[in-house]
Amino acid sequence: MSIAMLKRAAKESVSGLPREFWWLWTSTLVNRLGAFVATFMALYLTLERGHSASYAGLVASLHGLGGVISSLGAGVMTDRLGRRPTMLIAQSSTAVSVAVLGFMQHPVAIAAVAFVVGAASSASRPAVQAMMADIVRPEDRLRAFSLNYWAINLGFALSSVGAGFLAEYSYRAGFIGEAVLTLACAVLVFVKLPESRPEPGPAAPGKAAEPEVGMGTVLRDGRFMGVVGLSFLISLIFQQGYVGLPVAMGADGFSAADFGLVIAVNGVLIVVLQIPVTRYIEHRDPRRLLIVSALLAGYGFGLTAFAGSVAVYALTVCVWTLAEIVNAPTQTGLVVRLSPVHGRGRYQGVYTTSWSVAALIAPLLSGWVIDRFGAGWLWGACAVLGTVAGLGYWLLMRELREEPELEAEPGTTAAAPSREAVSA
């Protein structure tokens, strides 16, 4: 491919998106550049503070539990208060709580503040996703979600390197650095991003007013909750890259440096391939994309059972990373299409909860399977989960296939999308 073709492809990938999206994209990148706590919390507690691995696991679980609880509350806040206020409250709270966490000494205090950090840091996600759906045209959403996911991974990759060097100097400086960058993100949102929440319009003549979307509405939406359940299964699989994989590699005699090299393949591939792969899948049938991504994820981890060298482990990472690249924007686009305009915050909150619950359960579940049955059974279970998820996506999309397309406008409620609507 020539330089001119690369330039044209890059231009087409970023063109046509509103200015507000790019400010939101920038805030995401800045936020992820400060991701110190999630990456180095376990090392901080065990190496710097001298706590046990069990205590570090407890703190990690409390951090995840905070995210589970806040996702639902933040979804309601996103619809009631608005996208912008929710992001400001969440990011400001994260900045303060992260800074406080760096100065905590007592184990109970550390655990309590870690719970607050987990809750605050997860609270902005429903608002970000809802605002993105508000400001981006339906035909551009898959590309927008993909670019945002790319920013998340680019920021995480850069922060992991920088924070690693910073931790050699001072862990507390890492906490302060994350607090400063998160606060900068809040300032950016305050200065550059207007509120995007659609206001209910007057009811059309002869038609009843739009019914209010409550949390019960979301939970009774069978098709949407099916997506949430499938998202939970997919998340359980992907979590093994950071939970089961390092444990299994360690048991096979590989070092932490070996695992670091293998898992780095995931970040590098996402940064390099996310945009070109999205260009390829942008107008493809989302039913097939979700089914294929589920199978790639399950069997990508399933292949880990046969890995005996760093190279083979890295090859398995390539397989499930491709699944992650395809699944993330496609599934997020499906969630938006299934969400009523004035209930996007609640819908995104429940959807985010599926990932938070998986992050909470995966460490306990994978550890139990490895200890009781061995790592081979864990990778076999991943293959089974991928197959079940693929079948679930097939059944779900078959139900949606014949639905009429209706892209909701402010003041209306979105119907379930058709095959064409989902693919937009």
Sequential DSSP letters for 374-386:
-HHHHHHHHHHHH
Q: Provide the pLDDT confidence category of residue 412 given band limits of 50, 70 and 90.
A: very low
Is 220 found in the same domain as 103? no
User: 203 in a domain, yes or no?
Assistant: no
Spatial distance between the Cα atoms of 174 and 176, rounded to a whole number of angstroms: 5
Instruction: For residue 405, give the DSSP letter.
Output: P
Is 367 found in the same domain as 229? yes
Domain-ending residue, one of 143, 164, 197: 197
pLDDT tens for each residue of 146-203: 888 888 888 877 776 676 677 777 888 888 988 999 999 999 999 998 998 887 655 4
Q: Provide the pLDDT confidence category of residue 138 given band limits of 50, 70 and 90.
A: confident
Q: Cβ(126)–Cβ(345) under 8 Å?
A: yes
DSSP per-residue string spanning 205-241? TTSPPPPP--HHHHHT-HHHHHHHHHHHHHHHHHHTT
Spatial distance between the Cα atoms of 217 and 95, rounded to a whole number of angstroms: 33
Of 5, 180, 20, 207, nearest to 102 by C-alpha is: 180
User: 210 in a domain, yes or no?
Assistant: no
Q: Provide the pLDDT confidence category of residue 274 given band limits of 50, 70 and 90.
A: confident
Is 240 found in the same domain as 97? no
Structure tokens at 130: 């809802």
Is 422 found in the same domain as 285? yes
The pLDDT of residue 321 is above 90: yes
The structural domain count of the chain equals 2
384 vs 67 pLDDT, higher one: 384
User: 209 in a domain, yes or no?
Assistant: no
Spatial distance between the Cα atoms of 395 and 227, rounded to a whole number of angstroms: 11
Residue 85, domain extent: 19-197
Identify the pLDDT of residue 268: 84
Is 393 found in the same domain as 248? yes
User: 3 in a domain, yes or no?
Assistant: no
Structure tokens at 264: 């780095």
Q: Which amino acid is at 34?
A: G
Is 185 found in the same domain as 320? no
The pLDDT of residue 289 is above 50: yes
Mean of pLDDT values over 417-424: 32
Residue reference for tokens 């949102």: 189
Q: Provide the pLDDT confidence category of residue 340 given band limits of 50, 70 and 90.
A: confident
Q: Give the three-class secondary structure for 235.
A: helix
Name residues whose C-beta falls within 8 Å of residue 217's C-beta, 6 or more positions apart in sequence.
211, 340, 343, 346
pLDDT tens for each residue of 79-119: 889 999 999 999 999 999 999 998 998 999 999 999 999 89
Q: Provide the pLDDT confidence category of residue 342 given band limits of 50, 70 and 90.
A: confident
CB burial class (10 A; 0-12, 13-18, 19+) of residue 382? buried
The pLDDT of residue 292 is above 90: yes
Angle between the N-to-C axes of helices 125-135 and 53-80, in degrees from 0 to 180, rounded to the nearest 10 = 40
Across 318-349, b (16+ Cβ under 10 Å) vs e yields ebbbbbbbbbbbbbbbbbbbbbbbbbbbbbbb
Spatial distance between the Cα atoms of 414 and 404, rounded to a whole number of angstroms: 11
Domain-ending residue, one of 197, 229, 250: 197
Identify the pLDDT of residue 115: 93
154 vs 225 pLDDT, higher one: 225
9 vs 109 pLDDT, higher one: 109
Q: Provide the pLDDT confidence category of residue 403 given band limits of 50, 70 and 90.
A: very low
